[in-house]
A = this chain, B = another copy of it.
Amino acid sequence: MTRNVRSYGHFCVTARALESVGDRWSLLVIRDLLTGAKRFTDLMDRLAGITPKTLSQRLDELADTGIVVADRAPGRREVWYHLTPAGADLGPVIDDLNWWGLRHAWRWPQAGEPLHAEHLLRCAIQAIDLAAGSREPARWHFRIGGADYLAESDGHQWTLTAGAPPDAADVTITATTQSLIALIFAGSDAGIDITGAPGPVRRFREEIGTLATVVGPAQARSGSVWP
């Protein structure tokens, strides 16, 4: 296998960190594993445009560096990739990049641009976090096209994890990716089911559209919402 061994050769921990995660796609792989373990094809779905060769190579490199572990159980077909504690420590880096991108590299969804519900949720949650509205804890359970996500705020910080929550959430949202887009960007709840106590549901409806308003109106019309 061709292994990317290109290093900077500097005494600088920033450079050394980038030797581990600075290759193309690496941080996006880590981003997708931050919400929970994934299979090879789960990652292929989210990383639209990556080739299996590159994904395979990145996973091997990240495993060598101790950031990712491949869980291969005997007698089980699937391989589940998950982050080590060192890998999970990269969460703040991803969050900062996400935060910077939201403020300085935002663009409305373009026609035909791949848009995965998981990334949209991450972005929407970050916008809510950035806008710093309510600081009350919250637990929102999303069911998007059969996949479950839990967006959770402890009052200080939001986190997004894949999988159904073990115990009941405040609000449960059932939607498709398309109807979720319409809800976030246009406030339309057509084809969406939102359940929960009135208070939490009201707060959810107030805050879920934050992403569409936190970006300036000057940028708002430079792109299309509909792929």
Contact = CB atoms under 8 A, between A and B. Distances in A.
Interface of A: 6, 8-20, 22, 24, 27-28, 31, 48-49, 65-66, 86, 89-90, 92-94, 96-107, 109-110, 113-116, 119-120, 122-123, 126
A116 B93 CA distance: 24
A122 B48 contact: no
A106 B16 contact: yes
Contacts of A105: 13, 16-17, 19-20, 65
A48 B13 contact: no
Secondary structure of the A side of the interface? helix
Contact of A16 (B20, B65, B107): B107
Contacts of A90: 100
A15 B63 CA distance: 22
A38 to B, nearest CB: 15
A104 B62 CA distance: 13
Contact of A49 (B8, B99, B103): B8
Given A89-B100, A100-B89, A105-B19, A94 B14 contact: yes
A97 B93 contact: yes
27 contacts: A6-B24, A8-B49, A10-B48, A11-B109, A11-B110, A11-B114, A11-B120, A11-B123, A12-B119, A12-B122, A13-B97, A13-B98, A13-B123, A14-B27, A14-B119, A14-B122, A15-B28, A16-B106, A17-B100, A17-B101, A22-B22, A65-B105, A86-B104, A89-B103, A89-B104, A92-B100, A96-B96
